[in-house]
């Protein structure tokens, strides 16, 4: 596992840096913060910068990087909210979120979606009662099938970050790096061909809440963002599940939201890849203060099911998506400085 434990001196440097930034910005959604954060990230302790840089460049087989040891004050962050919508005023986890964006900025640019969690740049991963049985990160009774984050979308993040704030019941996140070794060359070749269909997952469904549009122009943009999701839902384009170098391929997969195919050859290649990933799946129980970054092009992740209590003590994570190339989504962002994809 690619893991570093912060030393007490590194924690002290990070706490000082976060406190300084907290004095200047009241939210990680502030566009001014998002412009300045790559410069601020130069002040992250060198060992952390080196780890994230190696993770980004060396593409080590584990395809994830875990930074542990940041102390989260359980009483200061308050109870686990009942819904991601119940945000009011300054976030009680602003400090932890600032560090999350600082670390993310060492991998690329943090992005949000207009069609997910009100367009916030950092998402809450917590159980919501009305989602209890849903296949979405705010569900709990169903395991979340392993997947690439936003696999259906051409602008999906290169990395997905999970910051653990609370996980008393030790619910495991599942993880598997993708390796082609158990695939036949015939299956491998087919998986590189555009023969597969991935539909938008439920987190982008309108009923699960996108940006609350108030101004008319925002409402129009949001409407067209949902039209785009609906278009991808009704008329998805066929795509390849693997790309890049066949000896170490990039992956784009989300079996729960993939169609079964009339194309038997393609279905059989997909099934063999799914079996190979299943056989390679491991578990990591995130602890408060763990910052996990998963290479979304080289690994899948998911989660075990659990029973939520809805009493403020439930599991609580934050999630961030990070792209290496913000420019590729320019036509879907309101301004060059915006980090929100419509």
Ligand X SMILES: O=C(O)CCC(=O)C(=O)O
In angstroms, the CA 111 to CA 231 distance is 22
Smallest distance, Fe ion to C-beta of residue 286, A: 13
> Which residue has 């539909």 as its token pair?
199
Query: Under a CB-based contact definition with an 8 Å cutoff, are residues 209 and 160 in contact?
Result: no
Quick note: the x/- pattern for ligand X over 69-108, rule CB under 6 A, is ----------------------------------------
Pick from 156, 195, 303, 333: which binds ligand X (CB under 6 A)? 303
In angstroms, the CA 168 to CA 175 distance is 20
Dihedral angle, C-alpha 65, 132, 170, 78, nearest 10 °: 90
- Break the chain down into helix, strand, coil percent, rounded to 5: 35, 20, 45
Binding of residue 149 to Fe ion (CB under 5 A): yes
Binding of residue 201 to Fe ion (CB under 5 A): no
Binding of residue 149 to ligand X (CB under 6 A): yes
> Which residue has 């070794």 as its token pair?
181
Q: Residue count at the site for ligand X (CB under 6 A)?
A: 11
In the complex with Fe ion, the residue whose CB is nearer, 14 or 198, is 198
In angstroms, the CA 256 to CA 228 distance is 21
Pick from 301, 318, 333, 339: which binds ligand X (CB under 6 A)? 301
Q: Fill in the DSSP letter of residue 197.
A: -
At 275, which helix (H) or strand (E)?
helix 264-279
88-96, 146-154, 256-264, 291-299 -> range binding Fe ion (CB under 5 A): 146-154
Q: Residue count at the site for Fe ion (CB under 5 A)?
A: 1
Q: Look at residues 69, 75, 55 and name the one whose alpha carbon lies nearest to residue 2.
A: 55
Quick note: the x/- pattern for ligand X over 258-287, rule CB under 6 A, is ------------------------------
| Pairing between β-strand 64-68 and β-strand 109-113 as defined by DSSP bridges | unpaired
Strand order in the sheet with 282-285: 144-147, 299-303, 172-177, 282-285
- What residues have CB less than 8 Å from 258, skipping those under 6 apart? 196, 197, 198, 199, 270
Pick from 66, 134, 317, 320: which binds ligand X (CB under 6 A)? 317
At 190, which helix (H) or strand (E)?
helix 185-191
Binding of residue 153 to ligand X (CB under 6 A): no
Smallest distance, ligand X to C-beta of residue 231, A: 23
In the complex with Fe ion, the residue whose CB is nearer, 33 or 306, is 306
9-17, 91-99, 208-216, 295-303 -> range binding ligand X (CB under 6 A): 295-303
Binding of residue 295 to Fe ion (CB under 5 A): no
Residues that bind Fe ion (CB under 5 A): 149
Residues that bind ligand X (CB under 6 A): 125, 137, 144, 149, 162, 173, 301-303, 317, 319
């Amino acid at each position: 596992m690619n893991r570093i434990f912060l030393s007490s001196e590194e924690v002290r440097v990070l706490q000082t840096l976060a406190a300084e930034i907290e004095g200047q910005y009241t939210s990680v959604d502030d566009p001014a913060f998002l412009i300045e954060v790559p410069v601020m990230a130069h002040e992250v302790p060198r060992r952390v910068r080196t780890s994230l840089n190696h993770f980004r460049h060396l593409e080590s087989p584990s395809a994830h990087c875990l930074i542990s040891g940041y102390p989260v004050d359980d009483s200061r962050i308050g109870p686990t909210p009942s819904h991601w919508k119940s945000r009011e005023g300054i976030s009680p986890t602003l400090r932890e979120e600032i560090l999350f964006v600082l670390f993310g900025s060492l991998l690329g640019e943090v992005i949000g979606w207009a069609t997910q969690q009100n367009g916030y740049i950092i998402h809450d991963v917590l159980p919501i009662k009305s989602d209890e049985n849903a296949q979405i990160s705010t569900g709990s009774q169903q395991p979340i099938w392993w997947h690439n984050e936003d696999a259906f979308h051409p602008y999906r993040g290169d990395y997905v970050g999970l910051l653990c704030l609370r996980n008393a019941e030790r619910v495991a996140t599942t993880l598997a790096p993708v390796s082609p070794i158990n695939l036949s060359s015939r299956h491998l070749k087919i998986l590189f061909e555009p023969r597969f269909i991935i539909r938008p997952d439920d987190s982008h469904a309108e009923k699960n809440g996108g940006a609350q549009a108030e101004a008319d122009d925002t409402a129009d943009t949001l409407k067209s963002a949902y039209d785009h999701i609906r278009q991808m839902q009704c008329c998805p384009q066929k795509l390849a599940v693997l790309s890049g170098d066949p000896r170490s391929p990039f992956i784009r997969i989300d079996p729960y939201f993939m169609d079964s195919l009339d194309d038997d050859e393609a279905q059989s290649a997909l099934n063999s890849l799914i079996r190979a990933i299943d056989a390679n799946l491991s578990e990591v129980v995130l602890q408060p203060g763990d910052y996990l970054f998963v290479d979304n092009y080289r690994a899948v992740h998911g989660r075990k099911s659990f029973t939520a209590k809805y009493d403020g003590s439930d599991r609580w994570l934050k999630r961030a998506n990070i792209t290496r190339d913000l420019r590729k989504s320019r036509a879907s962002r309101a301004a060059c400085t915006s980090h929100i994809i419509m």
